[in-house]
């Protein structure tokens, strides 16, 4: 299963933000399981880096992002995704649209975010970390 992680999930892991960290870290651990492929976008990585740098330092934030990239894939944001974001009248936040279409272009079946309302327009499953863990770890 291909899963897309929103920036707020990455921030929770990089900055150990509880209570989300417990679930988000478990979700990231799925990257080492053959049944799951975990994606995020360059936009999400930039946001996660920004918040990690604010909490620690640029050097530590870069090291955290580098470690993260050893386990997850980067879903590209291309011109088609930008155009789809602009055309879709249901997309209210440009960044969320870019993330959504990056997930779609990489055939993700689910978006994991702590801001469910940001993806109200989604045609794929959108879950928060706790709901994802309860649904997919209970199997």
CATH number where 18 lies? 3.40.50.1010
Residues 105-137 have pLDDT tens digits of 999 999 999 999 999 999 999 999 999 999 998
Q: Please give the residue range of the domain that contains residue 43.
A: 2-136
Q: How far does Cα 22 stand from its chain's mean position?
A: 16
| Closest by CA position to 20, among listed 35, 1, 6 | 6
Residues 8-25 have pLDDT tens digits of 999 999 999 999 999 999
Quote the DSSP letter at residue 24. H
User: In the structure encoding, which two tokens stand for residue 16, read together?
Assistant: 């150990």
> What is the reported pTM?
0.95
- Structurally, the chain folds into a number of domains equal to 1
Residues 33-53 have pLDDT tens digits of 999 999 999 999 999 999 999
């Amino acid at each position: 299963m291909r899963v897309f992680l929103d920036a707020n999930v990455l921030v929770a892991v990089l900055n150990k933000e509880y209570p989300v960290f417990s679930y988000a870290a478990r979700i990231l651990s799925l990257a080492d399981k053959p049944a799951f492929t975990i994606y995020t976008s360059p936009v999400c990585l930039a946001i996660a880096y920004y918040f990690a740098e604010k909490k620690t330092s640029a050097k530590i934030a870069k090291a955290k992002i580098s470690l993260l990239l050893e386990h997850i894939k980067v879903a590209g944001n291309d011109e088609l995704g930008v155009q789809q974001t602009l055309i879709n009248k249901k997309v209210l936040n440009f960044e969320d649209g870019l993330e959504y279409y990056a997930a779609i272009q990489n055939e993700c079946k689910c978006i994991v975010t702590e801001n469910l309302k940001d993806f109200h327009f989604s045609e794929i499953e959108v879950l928060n970390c706790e709901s994802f863990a309860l649904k997919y770890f209970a199997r």
